[in-house]
Structure 1
Amino acid sequence: MKPTNWISRNVSRLLPAVSAEQKEAPALDKKAQTAIKSGANAERTVDADKRPRSTHVRLKATLGQKDEALSPRVLRRILQELHAIIDPKVSEVEGGRRAQAIAAWYAGATPEHRRDLWLLMSEQFVADPLKVKAAQVQFAAAVGTPEEAVAEVNYRRATVSPRRRVLQRFSVYPGGIEFLVNLRAEMQPSLKQDKRLMALDVEMEYMFSTWFDVGFLDLRRISWDSPASLIEKLIQYEAVHDIKSWADVKNRLDSDRRCYGFFHPRLPGVPLIFVEVALVDEMAGAITPLLDEQAAHADLSRATTAIFYSISNTQTGLRGVSFGDSLIKRVVETLKEEFPKLRIFATLSPIPGFRAWLGKHVGPLIEALNEREKLALGRAVGCEPPGPTDFLAAVDTPLTLTEKSAVRQMLLRCAAHYLGQALVDGKPVDPVARFHLGNGARVERLNWAGDPSGKGLKQSYGLMVNYLYDLRRLDKHRRQLAQGKIPVSKAVEALFIKPT
């Protein structure tokens, strides 16, 4: 039997059986059959091309594919250099020197080459699965016995990946921690598209949570007398209210203001997070007066209130590492020492997700109004009964709405619902609310036209909110939030839309 006949016969056994209807179907001409086969083969080829090869496959290959940055040969060489960093026969200092050499290569590498390094670190430095499984079995068997503690230690050691040791060696040389923080920041946009990088990202988040523990951070005041390079960092990283000029930043650092940041010894010139504070005699309801460069200085002898009006994280690479809670606590303690008359500590915060959220949820909120409220709203928007489109059109120019306007009142009620009742997975929907409420604050007051800037109107129709840090009730508010109830003031609660 010819080899071709043998192959045809055996392959035919793997094909699905042909039904009677298929047998009776008219035969296709040769051109049609060729076209179908070509299309099927092309589709399979496209599907295969869409799936990127893992570094495990690429390291064993001879040739690279056209969409791969590093050739298999170069990939193997870099992997050897990464393994050399954690060679047990070399000291930490030598390992750090080798890590520094890779960082130097990385500095001149293309984005595609850098991505291949991330993949190597993520896929090639995993814990030994056999050792992990064996240690897990031993630990499970030892639970409740005198050997439990030892078995737990062995299990924990088995689950530690070599990737962690690689990261530790990078931290040895000067500039190594900054290199890793910047590397993770650069990697963030790629995480959604390539889940293979997740192992490296999570490992780095774990390491950074240890290295950047608040116990290792210094709280420093940033003033107009600080180095110009540091003040430039404020301008660069301000994320809430853009700093427009040197006069603007000088106003934010004036005598009636305070600015504090957390600093790490290995990144001494860069604040990891900073907060801007205005010292005033009442709770502020609008950002414009606070940013007014021509406004007179507040009388510090009469200051009773500290308004936190901007908190900015500066390092994307430290995403997931929390500083805010500790920063606010430390700043409050520092301010109380300097100004004993301070009694109120509150924020003046944006509501960044409100406008987008309202566009999706306004319909049910309108339906929850009683008939009298619907009638008043319908008359105000010029359509009875009022619909979501009508309301959103009427509220699109919020600064023109009068205080007694039913549209304005409805917008405030919607904002109260968003901040005080909307939850996802037991947490507030709004990211800023999630931060402050998680720290023990409560939703204190909504402020109409608090931020009339283009950004403020785009985010929240110009609304701003005060979160109050009542130092005696922080723990109570946290417990309340953990039970699925957002702490709010009576004034905000009065705005809630109660279903009829």
Structure 2
Amino acid sequence: MAIVDSWTSARAARQVLALARKLLSERGQANSLGLAQELIHRMGALSAEAWPAVFDKLAADFNPEPAAVLRAAQAYADAPGTDTLRVLTELSEPPRQELFRRLNRAPGGTGTLVRMRRRLLDGLKAHPDWRMVDADLLHLLSSWFNPGFLEMRQVDWQSPAQLLEQIIHHEAVHAIDGWDDLRRRLLPDRRLFAFFHPQLPHEPLIFVEVALLPDMPEAIAPLIAKRSEPMPASSFKIAVFYSISNCEPGLRGVSLGNFLIKRVAEHLRRELPRLKVFCTLSPIPGFAAWLQSVQTLDELPGLKPAQRERASESLGRVRQHSATALASPSALEDDTLQEDLRRMAAVYLIAQTPLAGGDPVARFHLDNGARLERLNPAGDRSAKGLKQSHGMMVNYLYDLDRIEQHHEAFTQGEIAAARAVGGLL
């Protein structure tokens, strides 16, 4: 039976590849569309076992012709100009990019390519030669999912049940515990916004959850308590982004979240002019792992000698506790330990973030133009929060008038941080 299944998968892969070559050779637009639709149908029916053969061939057989590219490059070098550059550009582009474009023109093509990349990413580590296929897909998807093409919608309790179910399923930061929990997150003092693509109108690509509050929060539990009472609109002074979740793994690497946060902030500022502060309450998912792995702070740039000495002393005291002890609720009651953890969190976020191994959430918000505003010990007392960050959470401030300035500073390796956080070093 396994032999039959393997033969069937190989045959299906060959058929898909033959149809792909035929689609690339087709000149007529009408025939091209029909072939693309047939190819989309066959790709949708491919088994998981058949896809590696397809990716192998896409990586090996759908590349530019080296000799032709070399001749075109020499022609351009000899006579730089519009015509020689056009020929070089056309010949150096992998044929699989044109294949993906033709697929994208057919109904269902966009979703097919997104799902195709999801499968490819799952096997990329074991098949590094697929990276060139991924690079072409990412290049095209980044254009097709440009925020200018995306629609931002507010999701509320009146949204279709199928959409609400997807929100519950895809929430990746603070799990939604059923319909009652979701309903609380959609009451008037809570908002949820998502990006949608015109070709995937019923599939949220990414969504952000917002709490409207009178003060900047220091703990997540009150924000997601499903039996809490809604606050009156007259108390709304601060908009807090407390969760952002990607729904489509096939779009990894396509910038969506940074544009969504900024667009939501502008929308809320127009709707509720009394909102003056936009911030986050964010996890620090890499903090605990970094604390366990870092051996010395000598190689961290940006720390002055006195700061490095204080941080090294704090690190030494923290490392006297086991990882299990640090992740226990009792650690939250040790004031000395919490002060050391605050200092080490500041070191991690300010000195380590610009480097390899920096916190991914911190990099996202700081690169997005936010400012590191405040550290919150015991901000997340959940088992997950204690394990990944010893309960520590952080507020990032989005000053809409200084976002670009902070973003530019981050690209130069500088962290925009409030004095209260910088003073912990």
| TM-score where L is the length of structure 1 | 0.77
Range that drifts further, 125-134 or 303-312: 125-134
Deviation at 1:94, TM superposition (A): 2.4
Q: Deviations over 1:455-499 (max 9, x none)?
A: 111110111111100112112212221221211110110111xxx
Instruction: Give ranges in structure 1 of 5+ residues lacking alignment.
Output: 1-64, 379-384
Q: Distance in 2 between matches of 1:278 and 1:310?
A: 10
Deviation at 1:78, TM superposition (A): 4.2
Correspondence for 1:226 among 151, 159, 166: 159
Deviation at 1:97, TM superposition (A): 2.4
Equivalent position of 2:350 in the other structure: 420
Contact 1:394 1:407 in 2 (8 A): no
Deviation at 1:102, TM superposition (A): 2.9
Deviation at 1:118, TM superposition (A): 1.8
Cα gap change, 1:251/1:387 in structure 2, threshold over 3 Å: closer, same or farther?
Answer: closer
Task: Read off the aligned partner of 2:337 and give its amino acid letter.
Answer: V
Correspondence for 1:180 among 109, 113, 121: 113
Q: Does 1:88 align with 2:26?
A: yes
Correspondence for 2:326 among 392, 395, 406: 395
Task: Read off the aligned partner of 1:395 and give its amino acid letter.
Answer: L
Equivalent position of 1:108 in the other structure: 45
Equivalent position of 1:47 in the other structure: none
Q: Distance in 1 between matches of 2:91 and 2:8?
A: 32
Task: Read off the aligned partner of 1:412 and give its amino acid letter.
Answer: R
Equivalent position of 2:267 in the other structure: 334
Identity of aligned residues (%): 39
Task: Read off the aligned partner of 1:415 and give its amino acid letter.
Answer: A
Contact 2:152 2:195 in 1 (8 A): yes
Q: Deviations over 1:259-310 (max 9, x none)?
A: 1111111000011111110000111111100111221211212211000001
Deviation at 1:422, TM superposition (A): 0.6
Q: Does 1:434 align with 2:367?
A: no
Contact 1:437 1:478 in 2 (8 A): yes
Q: Deviations over 1:50-77 (max 9, x none)?
A: xxxxxxxxxxxxxxx9998679887655
Equivalent position of 2:340 in the other structure: 410
Instruction: Give ranges in structure 2 of 5+ residues lacking alignment.
Output: 299-305
Equivalent position of 1:130 in the other structure: 67
Task: Read off the aligned partner of 1:239 and give its amino acid letter.
Answer: A
Q: Distance in 1 between matches of 2:155 and 2:292?
A: 40
Contact 1:428 1:434 in 2 (8 A): no
Q: SS state of the match for residue 210, structure 1?
A: helix
Deviation at 1:386, TM superposition (A): 4.8
Cα gap change, 1:178/1:192 in structure 2, threshold over 3 Å: closer, same or farther?
Answer: same
Correspondence for 1:214 among 130, 147, 159: 147
Task: Read off the aligned partner of 1:224 and give its amino acid letter.
Answer: W
Equivalent position of 2:132 in the other structure: 199
Q: Distance in 2 between matches of 1:320 and 1:420?
A: 24
Contact 1:259 1:276 in 2 (8 A): yes
Name which structure has the greater RCO, CA cutoff 8 Å, separation 6+. 2
Q: Distance in 2 between matches of 1:386 and 1:293?
A: 38
Q: Deviations over 1:436-459 (max 9, x none)?
A: 111100111111111111111111
Q: Does 1:79 align with 2:9?
A: no
Range that drifts further, 473-482 or 70-79: 70-79
Q: Does 1:97 align with 2:34?
A: yes
Q: Distance in 1 between matches of 2:160 and 2:131?
A: 38
Q: Distance in 2 between matches of 1:417 and 1:410?
A: 11
Cα gap change, 1:355/1:72 in structure 2, threshold over 3 Å: closer, same or farther?
Answer: closer
Q: Does 1:448 align with 2:405?
A: no
Structure 2 counterparts to residues 46-65 of structure 1, below 5 A: none
Contact 1:191 1:197 in 2 (8 A): yes
Range that drifts further, 148-157 or 345-354: 148-157
Q: Distance in 2 between matches of 1:322 and 1:387?
A: 36
Cα RMSD between the aligned structures? 2.7
Q: SS state of the match for residue 178, structure 1?
A: helix
Contact 1:351 1:465 in 2 (8 A): yes
Correspondence for 1:475 among 398, 404, 410: 404
Q: SS state of the match for residue 192, structure 1?
A: coil
Q: SS state of the match for residue 294, structure 2?
A: helix
Cα gap change, 1:396/1:332 in structure 2, threshold over 3 Å: closer, same or farther?
Answer: closer
Number of aligned residue pairs: 416
Q: Distance in 2 between matches of 1:396 and 1:226?
A: 39
Q: Distance in 2 between matches of 1:104 and 1:304?
A: 51
Contact 2:218 2:376 in 1 (8 A): yes
Q: Distance in 2 between matches of 1:290 and 1:173?
A: 44
Range that drifts further, 308-317 or 101-110: 101-110
